[in-house]
Amino acid sequence: MNLPNTRRFAPRLLLSLLLWGASLAQAQLSIQITGAGANQIPVAIADFGGDPGTSRSLTSVVRGDLERSGLFKLVDPHGAVLTETSPIDYPSWKSLGADALAAGSLGTSADGRMEARFRLYDVNRQTQLGGAAYLTGVPQLRAAGHRIADYIYEKLTGERGIFSTRIAYVVKSGSRYVLWIADSDGQNAHEALVSREPIISPAWSPDGSRLAYVSFENRKPIIIVHSLASGKRDVLANFKGSNSAPAWAPDGQRLAVVLTKDGSSQIYLINASGGAAQRLTSSAGIDTEPQFSPDGAYVYFTSNRGGSPQIYRVPSSGGNVERITFEGNYNVTPRPSPDGKSLAFIARHEGRFQLSIMDLASRQVQIISDSYKDESPSFAPNGRMIVMATEVGGRGVLSAVSADGRIKQRLSVTAGDVREPAWGPFSK
């Protein structure tokens, strides 16, 4: 048996690990907050009890999530350590300006596993708002922190938190295209696909188990459905010509896609398992960028059938097409909000391509970004935030903005262009 030369192998292994670590660091999204909500809720997160190192890590995740949301004002707990069973001195916390207080600990469950426990208190009413316990471990501490922050967010705002959700995005660095998946705070990034050819239009399945995207691996655009658990990749659409812009139906059984197999770009429906494609739109122009309404009743899309790029919708069962946008001569990339009440899209305004939002009942439109080259908007599953690709200093970055335009964040990587964001669904 010939054994490898370990003295030569070790430096190569070390170099590989260093390169992998550098690649991972370059793909982690760093988030800069550039705006905040109008009425922030003052909340104190006491230092959790238990092992100081791990407890501090857990607490920092909770605080970071709440602060990043722009909806909370963090009150300095001045080093106070409180567990979920500690007595609460409500007047003292009120004097610090806190309306709410969270306290907890990292301990051991009955079966010996690590457990994160916490309680949330209403300081003004001097009552407990609730609490929970989550089994965890050192590798899962961030996930436990996100769940605690989600709980606090929902109790104090009345809407579901999004800290446990994930974001997919593509980073182009040199000649490499990498599809990354990260937590909503940009951490825990991992590679889903590495390619020498472009990867565009990632779209999450409603259950979060799969991503559909367009790959140019075969020197032409084809649509792939990628199982995130197994890594299995199935070709969904590889018809003659171009296959692009996949969008899942809310039931996860079908996708709307754009094909040129019969001539110009038109919208088709295809089963998630593949097979024949059913044509949904027919026009002399280009129909593209489909997106289902949350109830699955309509497919919104972009078309130049009227002479300029505008947004339309058609019943998903087929039927008459309705024009949605009329202001301006360039409105593209429709994205209905999760509650179906508004529509985000990219509009050209005074030469700038900016994220806009329309109230579908009144048809009133508001520009909510302050950048100039926005594309690929994607709603968070609670409808509160929208992530999009934009450009700063000639480099692709991501931005996030609240649906009311008040809260703004910038997400970037240390090297390369980051594009094609897609916000995943709520975690199960």
Phi, psi of 302 (to 5 degrees): -100, 140
Query: E-assigned strands of 250-364?
Result: 254-259, 266-271, 277-279, 287-292, 298-303, 310-315, 322-323, 331-336, 342-349, 352-359
Cα–Cα nearest to 65, from 154, 191, 181: 154
Interatomic CA distance for residues 349 and 181, integer angstroms = 32
**What is the SS3 assignment for 166-234?**
EEEEEEEECCEEEEEEEECCCCCCEEEEEECCCEEEEEECCCCCEEEEEECCCCCCEEEEEECCCCCEE
3-state DSSP call for residue 14? helix
Place of tokens 């008040």: 406
Question: In which band, very low, low, confident or very high, does the pLDDT at 428 lie, cut at 50, 70 and 90?
Answer: confident
All residues at 6 or more sequence positions from 34 whose CB lies less than 8 Å from its CB, including other chains:
408, 409, 410
pLDDT for 22 equals: 41
Radius of gyration of the chain (CA): 24
pLDDT tens per residue, range 132-182: 999 999 899 999 999 999 999 999 999 999 999 999 999 998 899 999 999
3-state DSSP call for residue 332? strand
Contact indicator for 101, 120 with CB cutoff of 8 Å: yes
Instruction: Please give the single-letter amino acid code of residue 36.
Output: A
Token duo for residue 325: 């946008």
pLDDT tens per residue, range 301-338: 999 999 999 999 999 999 999 999 999 999 999 999 99
Average pLDDT over residues 407-416: 79
pLDDT at 11 over 70: no
Place of tokens 């010996």: 112
pLDDT tens per residue, range 46-78: 999 999 999 999 999 999 999 999 999 999 999
Question: In which band, very low, low, confident or very high, does the pLDDT at 27 lie, cut at 50, 70 and 90?
Answer: low
pLDDT at 370 over 70: yes
pLDDT for 35 equals: 63
Interatomic CA distance for residues 427 and 253, integer angstroms = 19
Interatomic CA distance for residues 118 and 106, integer angstroms = 9
Which ranges in 75-134 belong to alpha helices (H)?
Answer: 90-95
pLDDT for 6 equals: 33
pLDDT for 24 equals: 45
Average pLDDT over residues 343-351: 96
- What angle do the packed helices 141-157 and 52-69 form, to 10 degrees? 40
User: Residue 420: left (phi > 0), alpha (psi -120 to 50), or beta?
Assistant: left
